[in-house]
Amino acid sequence: MNLDLDDEQEALRHTVEDFARKEVAPVIGGFYEREEFPYDLVAKMGRMGLFGLPVSEEHGGMGGDYTALCIALEELGRVDSSVAITLEAGVSLGLMPIYRFGTDEQKARWLPELVTGEKLGAFGLTEPGGGSDAGATRTTARLDGDEWVINGSKSFITNSGTDITSVVTVTAITGEREGGRKEISAILVPSGTPGFTVAPKYSKVGWNASDTHELSFDDCRVPATNLLGERGRGYAQFLSILDEGRIAIAALGTGLAQGCVDESVRYAHEREAFGNPIGSYQAIQFKIAEMETRAHTSRLAWYAAAAKMQAGKPFKKEAAIAKLVSSNAAMDNSRDGTQIFGGYGFMNEFPVGRFYRDAKILEIGEGTSEVQKMLIARQLGL
């Protein structure tokens, strides 16, 4: 059992760490406060090849794997979650469905601009009526000649309304199966298609430099060839996309948890109270020791899930565990980190306050913590 990164993985980790520290950290607080999307940082990540990490060279990617993407996400998450989720959603939700399930024509049409980060893709599954019960989809797509006619709406869709968003994959009911069950398919909807409206961005508690919108489809017509993969496979497709995505979110959450440790150790050396650095007090030391333990455990959990995935073994349970553990670690560490900073922890100029606001969504997005527990229990035969 070897848990060390190999030379190539370590080089990638180091490159992204350097980028996050030198280029993201100095500017991201301003983007966050202005609730502005950081186009230049996204373009730089594109030039670094981060969007193409798990994609084969044949399709313009870096020829790496999903673990490489997760390594990059952990390092970004250590400094900022808005930038990290923009990459996570751009790859895991935006381009992977096309890479995994698209036809040769769809790959040729969409992947070149998505793997370079010049354009972003999004994934519209959640609807205003509910996200956890994804089978309760209400959006419909009716085949009319050689076009799908889509009606319905999607909520909270990441990367769906930027100036560089080119396509959104949406799940929709395309028919009825025997016994009245819904037939759900995934369909590619290019940005700017008539009948496809992107609402103004949400005002969010966290991830404030990332892009999130409600989408509506009103007799929106796209070619029949925009069906992603097989008709009726949409439900199975998004379940497998979400299984992978949970490992990516777990890596991001691990980064956030580790970022809280980084900041807290530094501050514990600098800040004095009662004539001594606060880090000399055991109460602070123990708090930071627990934070490091959570970040470490969370990393082991996503490494274990990624190792199973890369080995081609079933990894549903491990991915759910990793996401659950890392979102708990992110929540706990951001609370403790903010406490260590005292009043400054509540000020926007210090990253720990941003980590605190960004941690909560990790218990909600890509499957709530309750959904992760349901998945784990199901894998145990319950």
Ligand X SMILES: Cc1cc2nc3c(=O)[nH]c(=O)nc-3n(C[C@H](O)[C@H](O)[C@H](O)COP(=O)(O)OP(=O)(O)OC[C@H]3O[C@@H](n4cnc5c(N)ncnc54)[C@H](O)[C@@H]3O)c2cc1C
Residues with catalytic roles: 366
Contact region with ligand X (CB under 6 A), list: 143-151, 185-193, 321-329, 363-371? 363-371
Q: Which residue is nearest to ligand X (CB)?
A: 131
Q: Report the candidate in 58, 86, 69, 60 with the shortest Cα–Cα distance to residue 12.
A: 69
Per CB under 6 A, does 368 bind ligand X?
Answer: yes
Task: Count interface residues toward ligand X (CB under 6 A).
Answer: 24
Q: Report the candidate in 291, 229, 231 with the shortest Cα–Cα distance to residue 266.
A: 291
Give the span between the Cα atoms of 235 and 158, in whole angstroms. Answer: 19
Binder of ligand X out of 5, 199, 224, 364 (CB under 6 A): 364
Binding flags for ligand X, 81-120, as an x/- string (CB under 6 A): --------x---x---------------------------
CB of 139 to ligand X, least distance (A): 11
Binder of ligand X out of 81, 106, 139, 212 (CB under 6 A): 212
Structure tokens at 57: 């060279």
SS3 62: coil
Strands 147-158 and 212-223: antiparallel
Unique residue bearing structure tokens 């290019």: 190
Per CB under 6 A, does 258 bind ligand X?
Answer: no
CA quadruple 116, 299, 245, 333: dihedral positive or negative? negative
Give the span between the Cα atoms of 320 and 336, in whole angstroms. Answer: 24
Per CB under 6 A, does 153 bind ligand X?
Answer: no
Binding flags for ligand X, 159-198, as an x/- string (CB under 6 A): ----------------------------------------
CB of 123 to ligand X, least distance (A): 5
Structure tokens at 110: 């969409």
Per CB under 6 A, does 371 bind ligand X?
Answer: yes
Contact region with ligand X (CB under 6 A), list: 32-40, 69-77, 109-117, 366-374? 366-374
User: For the chain, where are the alpha helices, taking DSSP H only?
Assistant: 7-19, 25-34, 39-47, 66-77, 81-88, 96-101, 104-115, 234-270, 282-310, 316-340, 351-359, 369-379
Contact region with ligand X (CB under 6 A), list: 102-110, 217-225, 293-301, 368-376? 368-376
Structure tokens at 349: 């100029």
Cβ proximity to ligand X, 210 vs 264, nearer residue: 210
Q: Which residues, at least 6 apart from 382, have a Cβ–Cβ distance to it below 8 Å?
A: none
CB of 202 to ligand X, least distance (A): 7
**Contact criterion met (CB below 8 Å) for 168 and 122:** yes
Cβ proximity to ligand X, 170 vs 291, nearer residue: 170
Strands 165-176 and 147-158: unpaired
Cβ proximity to ligand X, 122 vs 260, nearer residue: 122
Binder of ligand X out of 107, 139, 365, 372 (CB under 6 A): 365
Radius of gyration of the chain (CA): 21
Binder of ligand X out of 125, 260, 324, 329 (CB under 6 A): 125
Q: Which residues contribute to the site for ligand X (CB under 6 A)?
A: 89, 93, 122-126, 130-132, 156-158, 204, 207, 212, 361, 364-368, 370-371
